[in-house]
Amino acid sequence: MSTELEQRLERALSRLPRPGGDAQERARAAALATLPPVHEPLRHARRTIVLAAATVAVLVAVAAGLAATGTVTFAVRSSKPAPPHLVLPARSDGVAAFVDGRLWLLTRGGARIEGLRASAAALSPHALYVAVGLGRSLVAMAPNGRTAWAHETRGEVEAIAWAPDGLRIAYVVRVARGFELRTIEGDGDHDRLLDTSVRPSRPSWRPDSLALAYVGAGGHVVVYDFGHASRKALRSSTLPWTRGLGSFRTIRTPDATRLVWAHAGREADVFRGGPRVSIRAVDVR
Amino acid sequence: MSRVEIGASVRTVEADVIGRRRSDAQLVRAAREGSRTAAAELFDRYWSDAWRGAYAITGRRALADDIAQDAFERAFSSLARFDESRPFGAWLHRIVVNRALDLLRAERRLVGGDAASRHELVDGGWIAHAADRALLEAVAALPLARRVVVVLRFGIGMTPQQIASTLELPVGTVNSRLARALEELRAREREGQEVEDVH
């Protein structure tokens, strides 16, 4: 027999608010998108057409970003580890490539790496150092190829992003049950866990190095603000296409203020920077 | 089983057996075979409870949205590994609870302090009675492990056996956590009463 307190608990908890309709629709779409595909010729053909259209839409979005901003950086983000690639920092001269899991790098500043087997890499702001995922370690290499420091990690490093001010490095590491996001200072000290469950995509730093955008476990873009030690999930960014398709892009404009996430479908979200992030959807068709 | 003809073909209607509710196991089986209608039915059946569970534990709408969605994504993408002999609801709630606890613990590590201090449970403006408000404040202040069993027992309506199965704990542990939580809530109410008496 329940006591008076138990009855009051039931009554109080039964008055909890209801979930919002938007959240429900978003969650339903995301959940249904995780179902295994039905192997049916007609559906397969339809899916192929949709995928092709989606790819074109992404290319259009990227092209639009390029046209609008001149230089953009972008990262592939998916539920599977992104293929390793390297972005040269702005105003640095050099050549960088990943070929068959091997890193090739030559910069005007003197960095020279030839065919190093690595899981991920990122250059320091002036391309003087390169942070590389080697086995279960994150290693910073100096231009002369010497190891500046090495930090043992819990698993393979899947993605690395060096902050524009050079003081911090964000990296995604594979752990037993998924992927976690960590940061470490540019000198290899103060390794710190930022999020226990994320998608294995390259994080994107705000140009002032005080905030970091990454893809949370639920597929949302999450912005971590180092100034306030707070996280904010950007609600409209759930991308049902991220599973399986693995081809959506974030484009950060060089003027600091915008993070564009191009949906693989037909629209893009524009996230404005600053202390309060607001969201606006635009059609890029 | 009722059937509906569509063109030349005869196929079982997804929501078949009109007027009879399909069991969770039937829906899971159909969803595994790719039926989005069956998966959507499972979603509709459990979304509200999953969300409310996440909300009652974390006390924040945004987190509850994330956790409930993430739980469904994880559950649906793992349907192939789901043990049909176990109830789907308990499995889903376990994912919700574990995810909520992971997030709150991570937040505590990152930000420090008790996440309950930012609990919206008591600030929602939807609570009609002051007594409810005081009680929910006390629930929000419970240690996480106790708060979870209270929410599952009195918010979701699970039996101690179901909670034990969901959290993979012995029933005795669930009962003792419930008993301690209730004891703590009563003690807080007594304290509150004494303060009122003094004033």
- Mean pLDDT of the A139-165 span: 84
pTM of the model: 0.45
**Roughly what angle, to the nearest 10 degrees, separates helices B160-167 and B171-198?**
110
The residue written with tokens 């902050």 in the block is: A163
A280 interfaces chain B, CB cutoff of 8 Å: no
Say if A138 falls within a structural domain.
yes
A215 interfaces chain B, CB cutoff of 8 Å: no
pLDDT score, position A257: 46
Tell me whether residues A8 and B131 touch, CB distance under 8 A.
Answer: yes
CA atoms within 13 A on the CB side of A284: 28
The residue extents of the domains of chain B are 23-198
Residues 2-21 of A with CB under 8 A from B: 3, 5-6, 8-20
Distance (Å, whole) CA B143 – CA A78: 36
The sign one gets for the Cα dihedral A141, A189, A88, A196 is positive
Say if A193 falls within a structural domain.
yes
- pLDDT tops 90 at residue B119: no
The pairing of beta strand B3-6 with beta strand A157-162: unpaired
Give the domain extent around A100. Answer: 41-283
Tell me whether residues A238 and B132 touch, CB distance under 8 A.
Answer: no
Chain A contact set for B128 (CB, 8 A): 15
Instruction: Compute the C-alpha angle A23/B124/B147, nearest 5°.
Output: 85
Say if A11 falls within a structural domain.
no
- Amino acid letter at A215? V
- How many separate domains does chain A show? 1
Say if A17 falls within a structural domain.
no
Chain A contact set for B139 (CB, 8 A): 9, 12-13
- CA-wise closest residue to A183 among A199, A196, A172: A172
- pLDDT tops 60 at residue B198: no
pLDDT score, position A85: 64
> What's the pLDDT tens digit per position in A11-33?
888 777 778 777 888 888 878 87
Chain centroid offset of residue A87 CA: 14
Domain spanning B23-198: CATH 3.40.50.2020 = no
Distance from CA of B135 to the nearest CA of A (A): 7
Number of C-beta neighbours around residue A160 at 10 A: 26
Query: Residue B195: pLDDT band by 50, 70, 90 thresholds?
Result: low
pLDDT score, position A197: 87
A2 or B89, higher pLDDT: B89
Average pLDDT along chain A: 68
- pLDDT tops 80 at residue A133: yes
- Amino acid letter at A200? P
Residue A255 maps to which CATH number? 2.130.10.10
Cross-strand bridge partners of residue A269: A261, A281
Most confident of A57-61, B64-68, B194-198: B64-68
- Mean pLDDT of the A136-162 span: 84
B/e letters for B77-107, b = 16+ CB within 10 Å, e = fewer, are bebeebeeeebbbbbbbbbbbbbbbebbebb
Tell me whether residues A9 and B185 touch, CB distance under 8 A.
Answer: yes
Distance from CA of B186 to the nearest CA of A (A): 8
Closest residue on chain B to A234 (Cα): B62
Assess contact for A113 and A145: CB atoms under 8 A: yes
- pLDDT tops 60 at residue A132: yes
Give me the interface pTM, i.e. the ipTM: 0.75
Residues 6+ apart with CB under 8 A from A194: A170, A180, A181, A182, A183, A212, A224, B110
Chain B contact set for A238 (CB, 8 A): 69
Tell me whether residues B155 and A32 touch, CB distance under 8 A.
Answer: no
pLDDT score, position A91: 65
pLDDT score, position B14: 33
Tell me whether residues A8 and B135 touch, CB distance under 8 A.
Answer: yes
Give percent of chain B above pLDDT 70. Answer: 73
A76: left (phi over 0), alpha (psi -120 to 50) or beta: beta
Say if A256 falls within a structural domain.
yes
